[in-house]
Chains A and B, each alone.
Chain A
Amino acid sequence: MTPDRAISLIKERFGLEAAGEGRSLTVEGVPVEGWQEFFDFAKETLGCRFFSFLTAVDWKEQGVEVVCRVENLDEGVGILAKCRLGADLRCPTLTGRYRGADWMERECYDMFGVRFEGHPDLRRILLSQDWEGHPLRKDYAVDTPHAPYR
């Protein structure tokens, strides 16, 4: 597997453009319903077995985008895939494919309120369980009041 070969395989299978220089490719606009299928493909066909990270970006009116990076360490292909969510902030889980997605998805839920469907244990991870709101959303102001002690 080489980055060029990965680009053509992704184009052939999903009709998506993968761009990038060197070993790191970025794939924009993976559909929500095809999110799991894309990572099945990345893991099995492209050999990206290493789970790097998963997070989200709040684009305000344009919605929330989930970003996930996996990598083929042996042959040098890294894939950063992005998926724009609907207003209900639901996203299929990757925990069945990558065990590292467990904590990362919990963090993403904690910070953005993204609901990962099928996650075995979706609860807050860094903030306390009774925290209100999701701090990394753009509408969560830095000076949002909260009780200092609980």
Chain B
Amino acid sequence: MPDLEARKVIELGYGGSERLVMNMGPQHPSAHGVFRMILTLEGETIAAMDSVIGYLHRCHEKLGETLTYAQYPSIASKTDYVAAMTSELAYVLAAENIGKIEVPKRAQHLRVLVAELQRIASHCLWLGTWCLDMGGALGGGATVFLYCFRERENVLDLFESLTGARLLYGFHQVGGTRYDLPEGWAQRCRDTMTVIDRRLDEYEDMLETNTAFQVRSQGVGVVSRELAQEVGIAGPLLRGSGVDFDIRRDDPYSSYGDFDFRIPVETAGDCYARYRVRMQEFRESSKIVRQVLDGLPEGPISSKPALKSVGQVRIPKGEGYARVEGPRGEVGCYLIADGGPKPYRMKWRGASFSNLAILPHIVPGHKVADVVAIMGSVDPVFGEVDR
């Protein structure tokens, strides 16, 4: 029966009606981390998707119960390691809310300053890696990627001279911040913002006039307003789907109420809309950074003494949920304090975890190549997904 066998092989291989299960990941360059997608394909179209996460799980929530309020902020930065300032801030805000701890005005301004610089650095990373994923269509592959890293380095240099670290800072402490601006830092920061504002125009020129870029991002990965809210995606994804919500404006923390900025919203819900939202956020962030530098009040940077021992911060019994608007959306910390130096329970609401959960709802129906564009526009950081 050799003929029958041969026919079987041909039908399986080229018939087109067979379903094929394909693993994308765990090590796939477009995931920017370890993430396994199990795609069921019909030809090149995705029929169903399952995701496997947890490769980077470090049980941050259990760690949070075993480390003190003085120790944990610098570990919190390791959840979302490309936007470390954000998660540190969420943690100390939660503790301060429960303990009703005052934060001096200067420290609040400094917190806004680093949060916005962090947003710029994080969005640079997103834009660069996303354009790299979408590859050669964008004029030589790595062009935008290298340009964005050049700008991100400038911001990381600023962080380095402020905190001594380039990626994981330990800048916040309960009651304020640990470091004050060094001499001449403000001027360097202004110069960096001027450069970045100018470069953003260049990126937009390179991308938005590029037909390949438009075709790969417009109408791809559309998230409706209803789906966006039900799944709980946040940040630029939510605003790209037409929901006008930003914690910085609608539920202000630190001193965001003192600054004047705009919340960009797009209604298309596709990859291009998310791109537009983030590009506008870049400019708003640099606007806020300038305002902070202009109006930085003098005074102490913390209402608590500098950290000398691990158990020196105690938070009275109580519970609270504090959240901040990170580069990827709502980063929240639900904290239960029992009066001791460590929390009784700590829950991270990681923005990337909720954002990634949108994938199984929007990927089916797209081609395999579109998955890469959608993943990049979601901008997950796996440290925060897996925690």
Contacts and interface: CB of A to CB of B under 8 A. Distances in A.
DSSP class of A's interface residues: helix, strand, loop or mixed?
Answer: loop
- Place the interface of chain A in its size category: 20 to 34
A136 interface: yes
Interface stretch (B2-10, B157-165, B229-237, B255-263): B229-237
A100 B251 CA distance: 22
Contact of A135 (B62, B232, B330): B62
B65 to A, nearest CB: 8
Interface string B309-336: 0000000000001000000001010101
DSSP class of B's interface residues: helix, strand, loop or mixed?
Answer: mixed
Interface string B352-387: 011001000100000000000000000000000011
Given A51-B229, A100-B231, A67 B354 contact: no
Given A126-B53, A126-B386, A53 B336 contact: no
Contacts of A49: 226, 229-230
B276 interface: no
A142 B345 contact: no
Interface in A78-132: 80, 98-100, 102-103, 111, 124-128
Contacts of B199: none
B62 A52 contact: no
A38 B330 CA distance: 24
Contacts, number: 79
Contact of B357 (A58, A100, A142): A100
Interface string A51-90: 1110101100000000101000110100010000000000
Contacts of B54: 124-128
A98 B230 contact: yes
Point out which of B66, B251, B347, B387 has the most chain A C-beta atoms below 10 A from its C-beta. Answer: B347
B1 interface: no
Interface of B: 53-54, 57, 59, 61-62, 66, 226-227, 229-232, 243, 245, 250-251, 321, 330, 332, 334, 336, 344-345, 347, 349, 353-354, 357, 361, 386-387
Given A67-B347, A103-B353, 19 more contacts: A23-B251, A24-B321, A49-B226, A50-B229, A50-B245, A55-B347, A69-B321, A69-B334, A73-B250, A76-B250, A99-B231, A100-B232, A103-B354, A126-B53, A126-B54, A126-B57, A128-B54, A135-B59, A136-B61
5 contacts: A53-B354, A76-B250, A100-B357, A126-B386, A142-B66
